Structure 1
Amino acid sequence: MGARPVLTLALALLACTGGDARAQALPDDSPRTAFRVCQDPNNMPFSNLAGEGFENKIAELFGRDLGLPVTYYSFPNRLAFIRNTLRYKLPDEAYRCDVVLGVPAGFDQVSATKPYYRSTYALVFARGKGLDQVRSSDDLLALPPERLRTLRIGVYDRSPASMWLARHGLVDRGVPYPMMSPDPEQYPGQIIERELAQGRIDAAIVWGPIASFFARRVQSAELQVAPMKSEPGLPFDFSMAMGVRYGEPKWKKQIEDLLARHRGEILAILREYGVPLVEEPTTATAGQ
C-alpha cells in the first residue's frame, strides 16, 4: 500500500498501471519451478534487493511451504508497475514473475486475493515539541488554534492526508512531497528519515507500515506514531491483498490457501515490522 507502492488517491503507496488489465497474454500454465515474486527493489519495509522487507519474509515462508526457491523480478513501483512486472512477457518467453505480495484489496489491475492485513495512515512526530499528548487525528485537531497554525505537516501529494488537511482548513500547514519521484533511489520513508528527523517538518502523515518502521529506525530523535481516524467519505485505513494475473484461478486459490494456512506466522511477521493492524470493518460500517 504498497509508498510509491501502488495507489491513486486512496493508497498512493503502490503504483498504478496503464491500459486494460484484462487485455493480456494467456497465462503461463507450465509447471512452477520457483516462487517468482514481482517486487520494488527499494521499498522498505515492504521489499528490497537484500530481501529485508516483510513481503520478502512472507515470500520465503511460502517458498518453503511449496518446496520452491524464491526468485524476484524487480522494477520500481511507480507508473505501470503491474504492466512491467506481473504482465510483462516477451514472445516465446515465460512471465518474469507470478505474484505481487502487496496490492489494495479489489485492485482491478490484478486478480486480487482475499485481504491478509488491514492498516491505516498515521501521524508521526518528534517527542518534546508540544505534541506529546497527541494519540490520534482527533487529538491533533483539538490542539489550540495558535499551536495548529505553527505546524508544518509533511504529506505526499494526492494522498488521503492532503485531502484531510483540505477538509479541516489546514492546507497552509501542509508541506507537499511528490508521491512518485523519478529518482530510483527515492523511497517513501525519506519523509521521516530526512525531513522529519532533521526538523524540516514538525510531523508527517504517511501509510502506517512506513510510519511505524521508519519511526523506529530513526536514531536521532524519539518519534511517536498516532493513527489517523477515517471519516465519512475520507478513509485512512485500507485492506491489503496479493495479486496474480487474471485467468489463473488455480494459482490464486493456491496463494489464498497459503495465506490461510500461515495466517499466524504472517501476523507475527507484520508485528515484527511494527505494522499498525486494524480490524476489518463490519458490514454495517464498511460503507461509511
Structure 2
Amino acid sequence: MRFKATILTALSLAMGLAVSGAYAQEPLKVCAAEDEMPYSNKKGEGFENKLAQLVGEELGRKVEYVTWTDPRFYLRDYLDKGLCDVSIGMDTGDTRVLTTRPYYRSGYVFITRQNDNLDLQNWDSEVLRKAERIAYVPGSPAEVMMRAIGRYNDMFNYEQELVGYKSRRNQYVKYDNAKLVSEVAAGRAEVAVLWGPASARYVKESAAPLKVTVIPDNNARADGEKVGFHYSTSMGVRKGDEALLAQLNQVIEKRQQDIRQILEAEGIPLLPEPEPALAMKKQD
C-alpha cells in the first residue's frame, strides 16, 4: 500500500508540474492601449509596455498585446470576455476588476517654466487667479478645483482648443498630454495641471526647462467635499482569476526594485504608500 501510495503521489506531482509548465508556456495577454502614450502603444514604447515585459519575464510567459482604442469599453469588451488577461495600470481598488497590491503611488502636478519662478504650491496660490491660461484635462480633479477657485468659465474656450482627438463614433474626446506640456514650454500657458505619470516623459523631453510641483492631497470642492489628487496604481485581472492575481502580487513583491527603476527612469513622481493603501479611483 505504501508503494502504491508513493507511485500515486509521484504521478500527481508529475501531472501538477506538467500543468504548471503548460500554463507557463501560454502567452500572457495584456490589455494595452493602441496609442495612449506615455502608457503604451503598438510599438511597445510606453512605460506600461516595459512593466508588462518585466511581468512576462518573471512568469516565464511571452507577452502578447491585445490593443484597444477607446478606454471606456476595453474592460467590458476585452478583459471580461477573456480576450486578454491583465491590465497593467488600474486604480487600486477598482471594483470592476480584481486589483493587485499597489506597485506605485503618484499624484497630479503643477507644471510651470523654471525661468518664470512662479510661487505655486497649492490651489490657494495667487498665481492660479492671475494666470491668463491654465492647461488641464476636463473631467479630472483639476476641473473640480478650477470650478472651486472660479477659473473654469474663463478658461472654457482655451480648454476647447486643447482637444487633440475626437472620434466619429460616440464623440470620444482625447487630450494629448504632450500637447498640454508643450503649451507651457512654448509660453502659451503659464501653468498645466496634469496627472504626474502622464506628463513626466514630456517634461523630461522639453527643450525649455520645466518645474514640476506635486499638488498636496488636501483639496476640497466649494461644498467642502474632498477632492483626491494622490492615487495608487495596481494591476488588474478579471473577477474570478485569483490564481493570476496571486502570481502578479508575487511578481510585484519580488521585482519591486526593478519596477521602481522603470518608473524613476520615466521621471514619474513617486509618493509613499499610505497604510492601509487608499482604494480611491482616479478620474482621467
Identity rate of aligned residues, in percent? 29
- Counterpart pick for 1:72 among 65, 71, 74: 65
Q: Which residue of 1 aligns with 2:249?
A: 256
Q: How does 1:119-268 map to 2 (within 5 A)?
A: 119-129=106-116, 131=118, 133-134=119-120, 136-137=121-122, 141-143=124-126, 148-172=129-153, 174=155, 175-176=158-159, 181-182=166-167, 188-219=176-207, 221-230=208-217, 231-232=219-220, 233-268=226-261
- Aligned AA (1:148): R
Q: Which residue of 2 aligns with 1:50?
A: 43
* 2:50 is the alignment partner of 1:63: no
What per-residue deviation string (whole Å, max 9, x for no partner) do you get for residues 113-134 of structure 1? 1111110000112233352x43
Structure 2 residue runs without a partner (length 5+):
1-21, 221-225
What per-residue deviation string (whole Å, max 9, x for no partner) do you get for residues 129-184 of structure 1? 352x43x226xx3336xx83243111111210011122223324544356984289
TM-score (norm 2): 0.77
The alignment's C-alpha RMSD in Å is 2.8
Secondary structure in 1 matching 2:271: coil
Cα 1:245/1:286, change in 2 over 3 Å: closer
Kept after mapping to 1: 8 A contact 2:93/2:279: no
TM-score (norm 1): 0.76
- Aligned AA (1:37): V
* 2:64 is the alignment partner of 1:114: no
Distance in 2 between the 1:179 and 1:115 partners? 31
Distance in 2 between the 1:157 and 1:71 partners? 33
Larger radius of gyration: 2
Kept after mapping to 2: 8 A contact 1:75/1:84: no
Distance in 1 between the 2:264 and 2:255 partners? 14
Deviation, structure 1 residue 224? 1.5
Distance in 2 between the 1:59 and 1:107 partners? 19
Cα 1:130/1:171, change in 2 over 3 Å: farther
Cα 1:130/1:181, change in 2 over 3 Å: farther
Secondary structure in 2 matching 1:102: strand
Secondary structure in 1 matching 2:227: coil
Secondary structure in 2 matching 1:82: helix
Aligned length, in residue pairs: 245
Deviation, structure 1 residue 187? 5.5
- Aligned AA (1:84): D
* 2:78 is the alignment partner of 1:85: yes
Cα 1:179/1:112, change in 2 over 3 Å: farther
Distance in 2 between the 1:39 and 1:284 partners? 25
Distance in 1 between the 2:187 and 2:87 partners? 35
Kept after mapping to 2: 8 A contact 1:119/1:237: yes
Q: How does 1:274-285 map to 2 (within 5 A)?
A: 274-282=267-275
What per-residue deviation string (whole Å, max 9, x for no partner) do you get for residues 205-257 of structure 1? 010112222111222x2221111112250110001111101111111111111
Distance in 2 between the 1:148 and 1:158 partners? 20
Higher helix proportion (structure 1 or 2): 2
Secondary structure in 2 matching 1:59: helix
Kept after mapping to 1: 8 A contact 2:201/2:266: yes
